[in-house]
């Protein structure tokens, strides 16, 4: 049966996530994709994204790309690496692995520098590699590795990449909009994120914040028609229009989400709310007997991984369903070597939502006959 009220379950996930009522309402109209109003809306979205990044609009540009965040990742990898280029991916989770898989499928020369899933990426190993391997043209890293919630030291990575005059690609899918970034200071050429993450829009497109000069130098590199990043940029610059049908309603919702981000105090204001959600979630879960997977110094405030309880009565699928039945949706784990689940702190969630979740977790543990 459909719900009898407008309020949906609270999504404690890394996205898609809980959105405001006004973001949802922004989609409740039709607008032509080539209409002047929509073209102006797209231009304003692009302008606002550069502002959210605190970047110089004369140096960086925003390119919107239809599809999920992974589509935009593939558009960057497939569009900016030259035919004879070589990519190094810093891997410490599933999303670094995904970039490797994309590059391999596209036929690029790609190598990996691996770190354990509970540790930051190997900056020293990158330094040693770039010092001896002049064939490497691009380095890719995940900012917030959503597999665990770990925050990688992108600033340190960028310093190494800049020292050897290589190009840096950053997957900031789960962090952009709530964690400060410094594109120029970190020597980032391409940063990728998605509409349905910290900016609190809905799924349907992703975006790339690109160093304009670097992007313009990639003519002829693209290995896809629909995911050709330079062609997408050139189309938007020429007449403000997408080359192919854009997700009109999704972009209208995203524009509203950007307005609401600004009203909340921008990246600092949104990050502060997420940090409050994280701190209370962590405190409450530890009080209920759960152990966080990561060390404190490596955890971010986007999503937190918790070990399964050791009690024989614990079954994650039942735990998940009982919480969902009470109106709270959490996230399964994605680790290769440890049994964990994840609780997200992003989206239109307040402390009251966190308190409600913790009450439900307590009730579910009692129902599962797991001592607290």
306-334 tens-digit pLDDT? 999 999 999 999 999 999 999 999 999 87
Q: What is the pLDDT of residues 204-233, one digit of tens each?
A: 999 999 999 999 999 999 999 999 999 999
CATH 3.40.640.10 fits 26-262, yes or no: yes
Strands 144-145 and 138-142: unpaired
**pLDDT of res. 338:** 86
Q: What is the pTM of this model?
A: 0.96
pLDDT at 1 > cutoff 90? no
pLDDT at 10 > cutoff 90? yes
Average pLDDT over residues 263-285: 98
Question: Domain 10-16+266-367: which CATH class?
Answer: alpha beta
Average pLDDT of every residue of the chain: 96
Domain chopping of the chain, boundaries:
10-16+266-367, 26-262
């Amino acid at each position: 049966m459909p719900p009898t009220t407008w309020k949906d379950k609270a999504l404690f996930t890394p996205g898609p996530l809980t959105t405001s009522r006004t973001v949802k309402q922004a989609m409740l109209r039709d607008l032509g994709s080539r209409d002047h109003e929509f073209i102006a809306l797209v231009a304003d979205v692009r302008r606002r994204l550069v502002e959210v990044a605190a970047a110089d609009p004369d140096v960086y540009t925003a390119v919107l790309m239809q599809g999920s965040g992974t589509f935009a990742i593939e558009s960057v990898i497939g569009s900016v690496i030259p035919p004879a280029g070589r990519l190094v991916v810093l891997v410490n989770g599933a999303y670094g692995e995904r970039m490797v898989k994309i590059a391999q499928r596209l036929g690029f020369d790609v190598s990996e520098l691996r770190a354990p899933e509970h540790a930051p990426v190997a900056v020293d190993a990158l330094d040693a590699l770039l010092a001896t391997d002049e064939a490497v043209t691009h380095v890719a890293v995940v900012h917030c590795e959503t597999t665990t919630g770990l925050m990688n030291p992108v600033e340190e990575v960028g310093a190494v990449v800049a020292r050897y005059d290589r190009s840096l690609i950053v997957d900031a899918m789960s962090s952009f909009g709530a964690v400060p970034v410094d594109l120029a200071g970190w020597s980032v050429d391409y940063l990728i994120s998605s509409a349905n993450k910290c900016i609190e829009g809905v799924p349907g497109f992703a975006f790339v914040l690109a160093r304009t000069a670097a992007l313009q130098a990639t003519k002829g590199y693209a290995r896809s028609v629909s995911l050709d990043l330079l062609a997408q940029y050139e189309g938007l610059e020429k007449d403000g229009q997408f080359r192919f049908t854009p997700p009109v309603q999704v972009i209208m919702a995203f524009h509203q989400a950007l307005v609401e981000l600004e009203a909340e105090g921008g990246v600092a204001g949104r990050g502060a709310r997420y940090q409050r959600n994280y701190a209370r979630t962590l405190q409450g879960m530890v009080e209920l007997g759960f152990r966080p997977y990561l060390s404190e110094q490596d955890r971010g405030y986007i999503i937190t991984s918790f070990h399964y309880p050791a009690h024989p009565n614990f079954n994650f699928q039942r735990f998940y369903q009982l919480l969902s039945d009470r109106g709270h949706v959490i996230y399964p784990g994605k680790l290769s070597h440890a049994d964990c689940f994840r609780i997200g702190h992003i989206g239109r969630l307040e402390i009251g939502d966190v308190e409600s979740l913790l009450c439900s977790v307590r009730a579910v543990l009692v129902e599962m006959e797991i001592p607290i």
